[in-house]
Amino acid sequence: MRRDGVSEIVESPVADRGDLRLRRLGYGDLPSVISIERRSFPTPWSLAMFVLELSKPSGICLAAEDSEGLVAYLVCARYDDVWHLMNVAVRPERRRRGIATDLIERLFEEAGPGARFTLEVRVSNSPAIEMYRRFGFRSAGRRRRYYHDNGEDALIMWLEAAKGASVA
């Protein structure tokens, strides 16, 4: 356990996902992260944004990789007693295979029992909203015109106490 209360993440295989492994995201992963980010979002994060989040000792940044390299990542920041799930992305050709679910489950394990989470998601992103709901996230309002590329609203979601349980 580190001084900030977040345990070190040890590389580990994921059951039933072939050679997929989860580990801490590192600076060396950023070229692959930027590639996935640009293919995933109309307004991708900049390199500087990722560097900033990786530099925060209290955050949890995870990578999913296989024999071909990085396939997904997750960035979560800690603000006082709330975790803000800021970014989750999977290579487009690897989506809908449970990789984001694996990353979020690992996030819950690392954050610990009783952790509270919040996130924003595009109101049009039905697959992501459904996944978050399966984890127990609930809608808590909207941020009007949150996304600058098209003025789309963001749905604010909260999970009051992550139990670390798998998605049903």
Q: Which residues are catalytic?
A: 120, 132
Kindly report the CA angle at 24 between 46 and 60, in degrees rounded to 5?
A: 70
The amino acid sitting at 7 is: S
DSSP 128-168: HHHHHHHTT-EEEEEETT--TTT---EEEEEES----PPP-
Q: Is 123 helix (H, G, I), strand (E, B) or coil?
A: coil
Which tokens in the block code for residue 64?
């999913």
DSSP 24-45: E--GGGHHHHHHHHHHH-SSPP
Dihedral angle over CA of 119, 158, 54, 19, nearest 10: -90
Do the beta carbons of residue 78 and residue 57 sit within 8 Å? no
